[in-house]
Amino acid sequence: MKNLFRILFLIISLFGFQYSSNAAEKIEYLKTDWSFKGLFGKFDRAALQRGYQVYTEVCSSCHSMKYLSYRNLAEKGGPEFSEAQVKAIAASFEVKDGPNEDGDMFTRPGKLSDKFVMPYENVKAAQAANGGAYPPDMSVLVKARKGGVDYIYSLLQGYEEPPAGITLDDGVYYNKYMYGNKIKMANQLSDGLVEYSDGTNATVEQMSKDVTTFLMWSAEPHLEARHQMGFKAIVYLIILTTLVYFSMKRIWSGIKTEV
């Protein structure tokens, strides 16, 4: 009996320790108003277009988005660039193609059907260029990281000087929102780094929010359609429940209960 109590006490202690450890590790991320949150949430088109600009000018030199094609930028529910704009965007990139009739590979301007151009030929080339670290693909990054958009948004603004007593290796930086607080990617954002075509002030906070919004869309391009479908389903269920209620009330109204 004593052994049983000891085992129970040990199990409870282990669960308590695990809970306290998880509570201690919990990080409060930076908060902002996301337009796409909630039942009626929609993407801010201007933010998506600005976010694409930040990705292209800042992130794309290291991070790929291999699941996106240039034509996606013109699709409903996304940044919704005009077809002419997207054609110009695609044509601004050189795409490796071939072989031609002579059996040689060649480069050509990008087309709407092309996938986003990869920054490196392969994983090994990416690691060699980044001190052994592999820059993750950003296509579904917000879904692959615990904390989602709040984590990415916070990480981009979380660079600080390391606290006293913490030593960092060469090429490693301190970020208070990174798991373990150590990250190999240097701080990429600074105020005024990009010049937004719509005149928006490109602060670090604004760029972080815009590019995170773009990454959310790339991970969930059909989010708006899903929200609309969910709303329709709720309305349908409400109407159905109301009809069933009144039907049952009418049926039972003609039945007299025996006393």
Indicate the burial class of 25 (C-beta count within 10 angstroms; 0-12, 13-18, 19 or more): exposed
What residues are paired with 115 via a beta bridge? 69
From residue 7, alpha-carbon distances to 11, 18, 69, 151, 202 in Å are 6, 17, 57, 39, 59
| 72: three-class secondary structure by DSSP | helix
- Contact between residue 134 and residue 127 where contact means Cβ atoms under 8 Å apart: yes
User: Per residue of the chain (259 residues), what is the pLDDT tens digit?
Assistant: 545 445 444 444 544 544 443 433 567 999 999 999 988 899 999 999 999 999 999 999 999 999 999 999 999 999 999 999 999 999 999 999 888 888 888 999 999 999 999 999 999 999 999 988 899 999 999 999 999 999 999 999 999 999 998 989 988 999 999 989 999 999 999 999 999 999 999 999 999 999 999 999 999 999 887 766 766 667 767 887 887 877 777 777 766 655 5
Q: What local confidence, expressed as pLDDT, does residue 216 receive?
A: 97
Contact 141, 215 (CB under 8 A): yes
Q: Where are the alpha helices (DSSP H) in 26-82?
A: 45-54
What pLDDT does 243 receive?
A: 77
CA dihedral 148, 152, 157, 162 (to 10 degrees): 90
Number of CB atoms found within 10 A of residue 77's CB: 19
14 C-beta neighbours (distance < 10 Å), count: 10
- pLDDT value of residue 148: 95
- Say if residues 93 and 64 touch (Cβ distance below 8 Å): no
